[in-house]
Structures are given as structure tokens and as C-alpha cells.
Amino acid sequence: MDEPSPPSSSAPAAEPSAKRRRGEVDDAEPRSRRGLLVAVALAMGAAAIAGLVLTGMQGKAIYSKPVDELLAQRAKFAGRPVRAEGILVHGSLVKRDQPCEYRFTIEKNGATLPVKYDACVVPDTFRDVEGMDVGVTVEGELQPDDSFLASNVLAKCPSKYEMQQKKQNGEQMPHGPLAAATPPR
């Protein structure tokens, strides 16, 4: 009978593996693998946060369109929150006391939009002044009859330079006196 031969000296001898304690790091584990695991975990966390933010914002976006574009795409924006931008049509601003509301019309590039604003207070700069175009942005919903039910009204102020020019020409200032200009120091 042949006896098994002893292991050759060219093969490395196997060392008994020592048990690791919980929490100890094996230096033999490649660092690139640990880095990859951390990167994957961070990417998953970022994706989860982005998903929560986008889900929370879904349906909350408000489009902002000039009156002419809004009316050209009325089917897309009817019944949705939207901002409409235009110029106040002179002579259209009417305040009703019972019920307290403002009605007016804004226009842009020949397209007009009647607006109903159910509130008693409007911005101080929202006045119909002869010879001055008042830029208006209304926020609310386009109604099926092509009118606009506003929940917020924003009036754009004329620049202080435009107002100073009008004052020098002897015109009445519609929004109160300008502060005296102080020279730069």
C-alpha cells in the first residue's frame, strides 16, 4: 500500500483563520468595496430625498403666462392655478362694496382678460391713472367662460426715474410723493 505523501514544500501552508470580533475591520477587505457601499448608500439616500421633494411639489407648480398666450392655450390652463400678466385696461377698474370685490380687465398684444378679485384690499400701486400703463400680474384660475378668478393681485410699480420725469413735467404722481433724492457721499 502506498502511503499518502506529505504536502510538497512549494505549496504555502494554510494558517488557521482567527475569529474576528464584531465591529473589527478586516484589513484584507478591499477599501474600494467599502467606498462603493458608502457611495451606493448615499446615492440611495439622495434619490429618496429627491423623490419626496418632487412628490410633495406635484401639482403645486404655477405657470406664469402673458394674457395672449394664456388665452391661446386655454384648454391646457383652465381650472389650474396660473399667473396671468398684462396691462390694466384704462377705465375697466371697478370696485363693488356689496360683495366687496374688484373687477377689471388686463390685456397683452390685443388679447383681453376680464378679472374678478374677491377681496377688499388691493396694492397701493394698483390704480387706473390716465397716461400711465399699470403692469398687473394676477394669480388664480382661468374660468370656462374665459374670465379669470384671481386670488392675488400684484401691480408693478413704475420706476422712480419715470416718476421723477413725470413730476418734472408737472404731472401729478399717482402713488404718493417721492422721497427727496440724497446726493451720494
Q: What is the residue extent of each domain of the chain?
A: 69-168
DSSP 78-133: BTSEEEEEEEEPTT--EEETTTTEEEEEEEETTEEEEEEE--S---TT----TT--
Residues 116-142 pLDDT 10s: 999 888 887 888 877 778 889 999 998
- Fold classified for 69-168: OB fold (Dihydrolipoamide Acetyltransferase, E2P) (2.40.50)
Of 91-105, 147-161, 168-182, where does mean pLDDT reach its minimum?
168-182
The model's confidence at residue 105, banded by pLDDT at 50, 70 and 90, is very high
Q: Which residues contact 123 (CB under 8 A, 6 or more apart)?
A: 153, 154, 155
pLDDT of residue 130: 78
pTM over 0.85: no
55: left (phi over 0), alpha (psi -120 to 50) or beta: alpha
Q: Are 138 and 152 in contact (CB under 8 A)?
A: yes
Interatomic CA distance for residues 105 and 93, integer angstroms: 7
105 burial (CB, 10 Å; 0-12 / 13-18 / 19+) is buried
pLDDT of residue 31: 74
Mean pLDDT confidence for 102-120: 91
Residues 68-89 pLDDT 10s: 998 888 888 887 889 999 999 9
Average pLDDT, the chain: 76
